[in-house]
Structure 1
Amino acid sequence: MLILAHRGYHAAVPENTLAAFEAAVTVGANGIETDVRISRDGLPILIHDRVAPSGEAVANLTRAEIEQILGHEIPTLDEALESFPDILWNIEIKSSATLSSVISVIKKHQARHRIIITSFCHDLVAVCASLLKVNCGFLLAHRPRTLDSLLADFNANGNPRINHIVWDYEVLDGVLLKQAAENGFRNFVYGPVTKTEHDNCRELGVDGVITDYPLLAQTA
């Protein structure tokens, strides 16, 4: 089971920073999950929240303004990939406004990086799968009635690059996990908190966990 540090390992440093990514590597994580948004000056920056602590939309602020509000530096997607070329990256696209910039950066790095593009916006996943040479996956915050109902809009295309499903731990279902695996998907899970929950993911045979607690996911 792969261990991906959610927004890096941020027990002692701010999330989604180069320091958090370095900490994730240090504690033995196999990869990093991070979030991409576009700043007012057009940069694909790594930040989770849509709204800054000041109450202003991230999209309406420059990178420098966001850094001043947060009190620390924030990297661009390009800077993060340049700094950590040897780990698995799970890059979550937050909105369609981010898409063209992300695609441009990924095209630059896809030949020498291991990358999974995911999004709750499944139409954006389909676009990335058609334009990029990286793995792509659907992020889920719900339990679909059936696997077929989840895939209905995309089965006609049959794009082999859409090959990951990232499930919320709250809605884990062993039957759906098995069906997804039998249909060629890799199952990732986000949101486990306790050691028992991480162990449960392993027992269910998931391929990877995206976690704020990478140490709890380790077997020893």
Structure 2
Amino acid sequence: LRVRTQEERKAGGRVFIERERESRESHILSLSRNYRIQKQSKMLSLRKLKSDPLAPPSDFIQMLLIGHRGVGTCQEQELRRRRCSELGLPLPLRFRENTLLSMMQAEKAGAHFVQFEVQLSKDRVPIIHHNFYTDDGRFVGNLTRAELQDCNEEDDDILHEQLYTTMESFFDFLPEKLGFDIEIKYPRQYKTGASVCPEFHWDLEDYVSKIVNSAKRHSIRSVKNRLIFYSSFSSDVCLALRRLYPECSTVFLVNHKEGHKYTDVHGLNGRSGLEFATSAYLQGVAIHSEELQPPKEGGRNPTEFGREFIHDCKRRRLHCLTWGPKNNSAEFRRLQREWGVDGVIYDNIHAERDDLAGLL
């Protein structure tokens, strides 16, 4: 046998190293959920995702409590006051939805996260507001930040009570331990061909990028440790978030009661939403809580539907969140906790201190 020269040994070593590098790269490229791939100047670098914001806060708290627009919608608060009046009970305080004061009250009541809707003003400022239109029928995207502030009533001079507040103020004034569920508002199209908001003119990726970049900038400036995840009823927004910001946690919102009205087939019901979240490599799905307890059919226990759906989410390593008026029932929230639901979004969180103590 001929002994290899030093040059041949070096060449063989380079071939071995090259093969190892190719094998390592192919393995790295197969990772799609937990890492973000960046290839710059012929070097492959990995950036691991941030800690999962939807993970249980502790070993003793397995289900996240998320305040819906703070301490709930104005409509739900009014219904609660009416019930209390009929029963002769003290009337609970009212807080305007999507205001700083409402968010602060949710945090005081023990909420881990608050949910709020974000859209852009005419001057590209992320504004907190649920509807695409103001109370007088004007499109939010056609008004500047200053014009939206003028829409507040004269007796709402206090910043914490103002509507159309900026997302920046939420980062500046709300405590660090309070997480954010940032729902990105985006109009969907009806099957008739009409749009939910015909005046909407933003490019999808530009619209999403402006909101997320603003959140990142304010998060770094104010609080770096705040837990944040994004959500949307639009599958296009979820795909844009996954494509542009794979390091961010994204949850797909589903409303089975209205999903049939839109062209987006992914939002028909919880099952279609679950399939979409799986294929798009999202972090979770948020369904209407009524889907966990459908009417009895054929004598079957309706709670089995809820257990099966949540088990399927766990099997696919997806987080399962729920929302809807039924979540205002403390007993139903306890039941969801037993099933393994990761988080509940509900109203009147500030009026359920006794129930919160039982959940925690």
Shorter-normalised TM-score: what interval? Answer: 0.7 to 0.9
Give 1:119 shift: 0.6
Displacement after TM superposition at 1:38 (Å): 1.0
Q: CA offset at residue 31 of structure 1?
A: 1.0
Partner of 1:5: 67
1:205 aligns to what?
A: 340
Is structure 2 residue 89 aligned with structure 1 residue 89? no
Worse overlay, 131-140 or 183-192: 131-140
Report the Cα distance in structure 2 between the residues aligned to 1:146 and 1:16, rounded to whole angstroms: 29
Paired amino acid for 2:328: V
SS in structure 2 opposite 1:189? strand
Q: Which amino acid aligns with 1:218?
A: L
> Cα deviation per residue 1:29-68 (whole Å; 9 max; x = unaligned)?
1110010011122210111111111011111222333333
1:102 equivalent in alignment to 2:215: no
The answer to whether the 8 A contact 1:147-1:176 is kept is: no
Distance 1:199 1:212 in 2: 15
TM-score for both structures, normalised by structure 1: 0.85
State the Cα distance separating 1:24 from its structure 2 match. 1.0
TM-score (norm 2): 0.54
Give the one of 190, 195, 212 matched to 2:323. Answer: 190
2:270·2:291 contact (CA, 8 Å) conserved in 1?
A: no
SS at match of 2:130: coil
Which amino acid in structure 1 is aligned with residue 290 of structure 2?
E
Instruction: Provide the aligned C-alpha RMSD in A.
Output: 2.3
1:76 paired residue number:
166
Contact kept in structure 2, 1:147 and 1:179, CA below 8 Å? no
Structure 1 pair 149–3 and aligned structure 2 pair: CA distance change class (3 A): closer
SS at match of 1:137: strand
Structure 1 gap ranges (5+): none
The equivalent position to 1:32 in structure 2, one of 92, 99, 114, is: 114
> Which of 1 and 2 has greater Rg?
2
Distance of aligned partners of 1:65 and 1:213 in 2 relative to their CA distance in 1, 3 Å threshold: same
Whole-angstrom distance in 1 between the partners of 2:357 and 2:322: 17
More strand by share: 1
Percent of aligned pairs with the same residue?
Answer: 26
Partner SS, residue 13 of structure 1: coil
Contact kept? 1:44, 1:98, Cα under 8 Å: no
Who is 1:140 aligned against? 254
Query: What's the CA shift for 1:170?
Result: 2.4
Match of 1:116 in 2: 229
Which residue is 2:283 aligned to?
163
Whether 1:131 aligns to 2:237 is no
Query: Unaligned stretches of 5+ in structure 2?
Result: 1-62, 73-92, 157-161, 187-203, 257-268, 293-304
- Runs of 4+ in structure 1 displaced over 4 angstroms? 144-148
Please, which moves more after superposition, 138-147 or 200-209?
A: 138-147
Residues 145 and 184 (structure 1), Cα distance of their counterparts in 2 relative to 1, 3 Å cut: closer
Deviations 1:12-35 (A, max 9, x none): 221111111111111111110010
2:252·2:277 contact (CA, 8 Å) conserved in 1?
no
Partner-residue secondary structure (3-state), 2:151: helix
Secondary structure at the residue paired with 1:53? coil
Moved more, 126-135 or 179-188: 126-135
Between the aligned partners of 2:274 and 2:169, the Cα distance in structure 1 is 38
CA–CA distance in 1 between the matches of 2:243 and 2:315? 23
Higher helix proportion (structure 1 or 2): 2
Q: Displacement of 1:219 after TM fit? A: 4.2
1:165-190 CA distance string (max 9 Å, x none): 11111222422221011111111111
Query: 1:152–1:113: structure 2 CA closer, same or farther, 3 Å change rule?
Result: closer
